[in-house]
Structure 1
Amino acid sequence: MNNRTGSFLWNLRQLSTLVPTGRTMRLYPLAFCRPNIAYSNWNRRNLLNTFDNKMQSSIIYLFQDALIFKSGGDGCQTKGISTVTVFTDSKHFLASDNELKKSFHQEASDEDVLTKRRKPTLINSRKLSQECNSLSDVLDIFSKAPTFTSSNYFSAMWTIAKRMSEDQKRFEKQLMFNHPAFSQLCEQVMREAKIMYFDNLLFSLHAIVKLGIPQNTLLVQTLLRVKCLSVLSTILNTMEPCKNVDQVWKIKHVFTLQTVMRSIGKDDPIGLKRKLEMKALKELDQFSVLNCQHMFAVLAAMNHHSVILLNECSKRVTSNIHGCPFKILINILQSCRDLQYTNIDLFKGIADYVATTFDIWKLKKVLFLLILFENFGFRPVGLMDLFIKKAADESGFLNVKSLVCILNVYSSLNHFYKCQTHKFLGVMASALTGSLHHISSENLLNAVCSVCWMNHFPLALINQLLQKDVIDDLLTSGDVERNAHRLHVVAACLKLDDAPCHKDLDLALPRLLPAPSCPQPKVAAALSDLLGEGCFSQSVRLPHNYFIDFEIRMDNNRSQALPFSDVDVVTATDIQRVAVLCVPKSAYCLDSTHPKGYLAMKMQHLKIMGFYVIVVNNWEVEKLQMKDAVVFLKTKIYSPKALSAADTHLQSTC
């Protein structure tokens, strides 16, 4: 018996002893074959048992002399990685090429169906973040059916958290930490850390840190110890400067540079921030309009107040303002607020553009813009006039929160528009009266305080505010000190202004602490030179919780200052009390001499109380020499008639 026949019979005996098993072979370009078995129970223990029991046969003998796979023609071609099926049952031993191809296609299709049936459904973080409204919703889905990879759950939770306010985010994080499935998710992330793709690992670490999980926890430290991350961090720390390392800072694309700057964060060293700032200034000529618009948010993200960058980008944004999306305008103003950056040309450009295209914007969008302007103290007159008209016509589309915000903006900026203001305030008050039973005590107080600042007194709102249970609620919950101050303001307005309900109020309001008084020292010195000691008083407290920096007593003609004494030699009717108020720039609207609401109300109430009010701007006095400051105060304190008489007397004596 020759060797070929002997080999054939030996193979036949070996195959006849095996249980028929469908087996998939992968043909590699180098002609090596690996069996790939489809198992009914995907289990590590079953896999090992099956491997031990079924892989005893030496398939290599089958390929010794019995079967030859052709590389071309009507045989099975091995292009790349191919799959064929070989049966170890003796009945299927010698198969023709056609039968082998049929068997191959049949088994391959069966394997595809089996694989699709048993392949786990991967969770998509974007879809998950769209379907869920809270962090707990994501954890609920995880607890029902955990799927690979767990990094998507954390990514989805961070995406949802970014949409929340700070208070809501804080509350949701607490619920997340207390959720029973949270610890299970952390454990699964730690188990999957070594087999995650690199991008999933990075996204997991990013989301976990952003969600506020402490860095000294086992979860964070486990991720940091994964080989790919630890090696990367170690290499970056130990690499010496070279062309490839320094290439990181040779960024040519502005968008890439802004992405790096945004990723730096607020807590990084100021030296690194300035280096990136210099790089941005170097590439300033390459900035597109979109780059300039986004630069505000980039600087706010890294908390870096770069005046040069902000000024240059403001010029580009202002000159290309038309067609700018409203969302971009809002983002620019929010970033300016976060950076405490004011640019009157930028603000005027945005306000003029919105006023020009006013009819295409929704009322609530314009209101959001006005709220941001009010934060800066900026008063866009034209835009606010247009808003008054439209708000009076469409007040039914505004909710309580919007109505309160509108009143706060207009009272804070002390804005009136001809005869439209009275109608506007009446419409706003009527809309609030319709929601009187749904409005909170604090919103009611804010609304009443705002309309009182504007000398408007809606009886229904005021009567509701003065209810004992409402007052008690305001003085025992929320910001009690602020509520008490506003109640004092309302009480002062009702007593001093020409209010229809000027009856005495029996409000048991707490006594407010005296405001920190620090009169302008230069003004005090100038008054001493001008009037002499004993002719003025400093830090005077008045009824209704008002304070004035200096009080001067003069005759009715304001031609002579009278000394303060325990017993006045003249009657009260012969005295003109003069109140000197030293105010900062913040008491006025931005880039104007228009007083804000509180200063305007205080001046009005002081006049009602019998004072002649003199307003001294601190920043103007600081620029003057002492001699000039004395002359400046003299022209403000004495009446023009008295000054002209004094000049005439001086000339006659000369």
Structure 2
Amino acid sequence: MRLGIRCCSLRSLLQQRSILITTPIKDSFFPSTQLAHKLGSRQKQGSVVRPVRFYSQERIHSEELLSSSPPAEVPPDDPTSDQLQRTSPFMDHLQQCISPSDVLDLTCQFTPTPRQVSKCLTYMWSSTKKMTDEQRRYELRLMFESPAFDLLLQKAMKNVGNLRNEDLAYSLLSMVKLGVPQRSRVVQTFLRACQERLNDFNEKGLSILSSCLEHMESCPNVSALKDGMRLVAKVKLNDIQNVVALQTMMRLLGKDAPLDFKRKLEMKALSMQDQFSLPNSQHMISTMATMGFRSKPLLEVCTKKIRENLHTIPFSRLFKVLQSCSELHYRDPELLMDISEYVASVIDIWSNKQAVLFLYSFEKLGFSPDALMKAFAEKVIADPDVLMLKDLLCVLKVYSSLNYDLQQQRQQFLESLSQVVESYLPKMSRFELLRVVHYLCLLGHFPPAPLELLLQDGTLEHLKTTPPKFIPKQEKLLRVVDLCLRLDRPPVPQPLTVPSSILGDLTPIRSSVSPLLSDCLREVLEDQVDTELQEAVLEEDFYFIDAVITKPPSCQTSVTEASSAGDEASPVESSHRVAVFCAIPSNFCFGTSRPCGPLAAKIRHLRILGYKPVVVVEHKLHSLSKEERTEFLRGLIFPEHHRSDVN
């Protein structure tokens, strides 16, 4: 009678705690068709195929009922116990295992204790990290086919109450990393066990658990555990003494953490800055990106450590630093310049793809890595065929966007790129061809082959069938190509233009005149006789000009002053008209007055149309007083009068 009541009570308890999810392991990890093909190939080779077994809900439930003894109390962290574990025969054999299959074979020879089950899972995961991708896929397939893995997971779930907190966290992390379905009952049981013991987890256990939850899909148990860890983190924040544990906790809290708590985490991290190693500094920047929290003091601490040890940082970590800086909208000119010079110095050691990825990251930051761009251009000139098609598109985008002046290398570099472009023309899609021509036009380079192919009737008709979401971007690219062909007048074998039927009736790109700029201009022109002011001028239905100032011949500036070095001389009448327009800081390469590609093309085309372009950085006007603004604009528009006044 007592035994019956006891079994009924245990059944009720297990039903309350169990998670009724039974996703089969095999179907979740490997597609059935792929697995059948693999098994078929093994049968052809004459190997014995073991049947795939699944741990079913009913079977596990019945086995738990047979074990009527209550779960043992979780043992405390005991150094003596750890020493015994390390010196046991089982652990000696486990340390010699080099694959998950070896570990499973060992569990068939010995009966592992609950702690040894946790060690087995950890060793299985750690062994796969040392394998190639192909080896890992093969070993994991064998692991999921093995009945011993099924039994090991059953034993882990049955003894979850006997595991120490740290072993519990390691076991969960190992199962997730090995690919055990996250909605399977064994994973969900471990999640529930972690919830129940969360208050007892120490710093290391919380760190391991945070690493696990960071990569898990959302489900009720995962969400509940994350919420619980956020509460525990707030209570135990002052007790955390390890930088890695703090960073892992910060990543778990993520962007959902309240701003005031992010500030507390920032202060805690700053109090531990003396403990920051080089990996800590790299990881802290990516952690802040994950949290969506930009702390300038922390970033300065980390970037200083990184700059001092650039030569010891591998490619993947350095690239991650640049990506995180981009996500945080953080640009340290000294750090970016040092990275550019370092990558340029080792460009012969790293692959082209790695160099291209760095170029792309710098372009996203709006920073021109002059040293790297020069070194990479030399490499392309020496061997143009090293560029793949995707690399070519990225390189063209970067160099056209950052408008880097290659000086003596310019013509050689552009001809080398044109050579690569022509070799890839048969493989390019129509939209890729349009992008390539657009980038080359921004650079002021017009190779005939891609232009002729783009402007063929078949190509243009195909572009008409573009999906609606790409139409606005495509129309803008075509308009830039059309403007460059008409205004730059490149020396191509036959006149090339974009048919008006393809351009269509584009809506003119209009904007509003800056009120601050308008008021300042009127003050500047008050004492200027016979000078006209016209606001909101649109040239070629594309280039917006805030104000056009028409000056009498006596006020004209020299053509040489109106043109930058290397540009063709404008006609004489160009000195009569000054085009004043505002630009935002992102229109310039970071930390310089060099205009980016689209702005550089606008300045070039306005000169051709007979204007002297005057570019005003709008935020600079706001930083000056009224008198300073007036003097600043007068110096830009009437430089000859301004110099004479100064003298």
* Native 8 Å contact 1:512 1:545 kept in 2: no
What letter corresponds to residue 259 of structure 2 in structure 1?
Answer: I
What letter corresponds to residue 360 of structure 1 in structure 2?
Answer: I
Identity rate of aligned residues, in percent? Answer: 30
Paired position in structure 2 for 1:258: 247
Q: In structure 2, what is the Cα distance between the partners aligned to 1:206 and 1:271? A: 23
Paired position in structure 2 for 1:495: 486
Q: In structure 2, what is the Cα distance between the partners aligned to 1:280 and 1:206? A: 18
Q: In structure 1, what is the Cα distance between the partners aligned to 2:290 and 2:375? A: 34
Structure-2 change in CA distance of 1:603 and 1:422 (3 Å): same
Gaps of 5+ in 1: 1-41, 53-111, 162-181, 561-571
Larger helix proportion of the pair: 2
**Per-residue deviation, 1:256:** 2.1
Structure-2 change in CA distance of 1:644 and 1:557 (3 Å): farther
**Per-residue deviation, 1:582:** 1.3
**Per-residue deviation, 1:616:** 1.6
Structure-2 change in CA distance of 1:158 and 1:470 (3 Å): farther
Paired position in structure 1 for 2:336: 347
Q: In structure 2, what is the Cα distance between the partners aligned to 1:372 and 1:383? A: 12
Paired position in structure 1 for 2:101: none
Whether 1:509 and 2:503 are equivalent positions in the alignment is yes
**Per-residue deviation, 1:453:** 1.0
Whether 1:540 and 2:529 are equivalent positions in the alignment is no
1:197-216 alignment runs, 5 A limit:
198=193, 210=215, 212-213=217-218, 215=220
Q: In structure 1, what is the Cα distance between the partners aligned to 2:368 and 2:187? A: 56
Deviations 1:304-363 (A, max 9, x none): 100110012112211222322222211111110111111111111111222233332222
* Native 8 Å contact 1:336 1:342 kept in 2: yes
SS in structure 2 at match of 1:290: helix
**2:312 maps to which of 311, 318, 323:** 323
CA RMSD of aligned residues (A): 4.7
Structure-2 change in CA distance of 1:251 and 1:636 (3 Å): same
Deviations 1:18-68 (A, max 9, x none): xxxxxxxxxxxxxxxxxxxxxxxx9999xx9xxx9xxxxxxxxxxxxxxxx
Paired position in structure 2 for 1:379: 368
SS in structure 1 at match of 2:538: strand
* Native 8 Å contact 2:366 2:402 kept in 1: yes
Paired position in structure 1 for 2:392: 403
Whether 1:430 and 2:419 are equivalent positions in the alignment is yes
**Per-residue deviation, 1:514:** 3.9
* Native 8 Å contact 2:282 2:321 kept in 1: yes
**2:405 maps to which of 404, 410, 416:** 416
**Per-residue deviation, 1:137:** 11
Q: In structure 2, what is the Cα distance between the partners aligned to 1:521 and 1:348? A: 37
**Per-residue deviation, 1:114:** 13
Q: In structure 1, what is the Cα distance between the partners aligned to 2:489 and 2:327? A: 41
What letter corresponds to residue 470 of structure 2 in structure 1?
Answer: D
* Native 8 Å contact 1:413 1:597 kept in 2: yes
Whether 1:249 and 2:246 are equivalent positions in the alignment is no
What letter corresponds to residue 482 of structure 1 in structure 2?
Answer: K
SS in structure 2 at match of 1:252: coil
Whether 1:582 and 2:582 are equivalent positions in the alignment is yes
Q: In structure 2, what is the Cα distance between the partners aligned to 1:538 and 1:113? A: 83
What letter corresponds to residue 408 of structure 2 in structure 1?
Answer: C
* Native 8 Å contact 1:138 1:153 kept in 2: no
Q: In structure 1, what is the Cα distance between the partners aligned to 2:614 and 2:414? A: 30
What letter corresponds to residue 551 of structure 2 in structure 1?
Answer: M
Whether 1:312 and 2:301 are equivalent positions in the alignment is yes
Paired position in structure 2 for 1:605: 605
What letter corresponds to residue 484 of structure 2 in structure 1?
Answer: C
**Per-residue deviation, 1:557:** 3.7
Which one is further off, 526-535 or 197-206?
197-206
**Per-residue deviation, 1:608:** 0.5
* Native 8 Å contact 1:581 1:614 kept in 2: yes
SS in structure 1 at match of 2:555: coil
**2:347 maps to which of 358, 368, 373:** 358
What letter corresponds to residue 535 of structure 2 in structure 1?
Answer: Q
Q: In structure 2, what is the Cα distance between the partners aligned to 1:207 and 1:285? A: 27
Q: In structure 2, what is the Cα distance between the partners aligned to 1:113 and 1:367? A: 47
**1:445 maps to which of 434, 442, 457:** 434
Q: Which has the higher contact order (CA 8 A, sep 6+)?
A: 2
Paired position in structure 2 for 1:388: 377
Normalising to structure 2: TM-score of the pair?
Answer: 0.65
Structure-2 change in CA distance of 1:291 and 1:504 (3 Å): closer
Structure-2 change in CA distance of 1:558 and 1:639 (3 Å): farther
Deviations 1:235-273 (A, max 9, x none): x97x9x9xxx95553222222222222222121222221
**2:550 maps to which of 536, 549, 553:** 553
Q: In structure 1, what is the Cα distance between the partners aligned to 2:254 and 2:127? A: 28
Deviations 1:531-581 (A, max 9, x none): 259932222111151111111122234369xxxxxxxxxxx9698222102
Structure-2 change in CA distance of 1:595 and 1:557 (3 Å): farther
**Per-residue deviation, 1:583:** 1.4
Aligned pair count? 492
